[in-house]
Amino acid sequence: MKRFFKQRLNRNLLWALAISAFTMVSYAQFSNPADDVPAYHPSAPLHVSSLPPILAGAKLTGSSFRYPWQVHVYQKAARIGNVLYQLPCNCRCDRALGHTILRSCFEGLHGSECSTCAKEGFYAYQQTRLGKTPAQIRAGIAAHAYESIDLDKQ
């Protein structure tokens, strides 16, 4: 009987070690700052119609849209949805909210509540109007070029 419990304890200990090792390996992806790039898609979507819509119209009202810039950023985002599809979001909502791209922030209310997302959205719109490619805009976002945007003046 003692032998049985000892074998079971050893087996449970091995399982606990295996699970611990797996957990550490799975979190290792977040420990290297050099690889700390938020999620994005490197190219335009194949089927735009299959993407969730960016909030528009009557959905841009209520307590999440108290300031003019909140509505304005969604209106601009709707014009460049394909570009936003190819951009990361530096607020790290890919981890916290499961977003896969900057566009995700404007498919719900997050873009109205997060100044990082809103500034990146305005930045992407401005740079697109200047003829920049999504790759060039991604580089600007990585360099935090959007941080100088004053949301109240947009």
Per-residue pLDDT tens digits of the chain, which is 154 residues long: 666 555 665 565 555 554 544 444 333 333 334 457 777 778 888 776 778 999 999 999 999 999 999 999 999 999 999 999 999 888 877 666 766 788 989 999 999 999 999 999 999 999 999 999 999 999 999 999 999 999 988 7
**Are both 74 and 124 inside the same structural domain?**
yes
DSSP one-letter string for 2-61: HHHHHHHHHHHHHHHHHHHHHHHHHHGGGT-GGG------SS--S-GGGSPPPP-GGGS-
**Are both 41 and 14 inside the same structural domain?**
no
**Are both 28 and 69 inside the same structural domain?**
no
**Are both 20 and 83 inside the same structural domain?**
no
pTM: 0.73
**Are both 5 and 77 inside the same structural domain?**
no
Look up residue 154 and give its amino acid.
Q
51 class by beta-carbon count within 10 Å (0-12 exposed, 13-18 middle, 19+ buried): middle
**Are both 17 and 80 inside the same structural domain?**
no
Structure tokens at 117: 């997302």
**Are both 29 and 81 inside the same structural domain?**
no
- Domain of 20 in residue numbering reads as 1-36
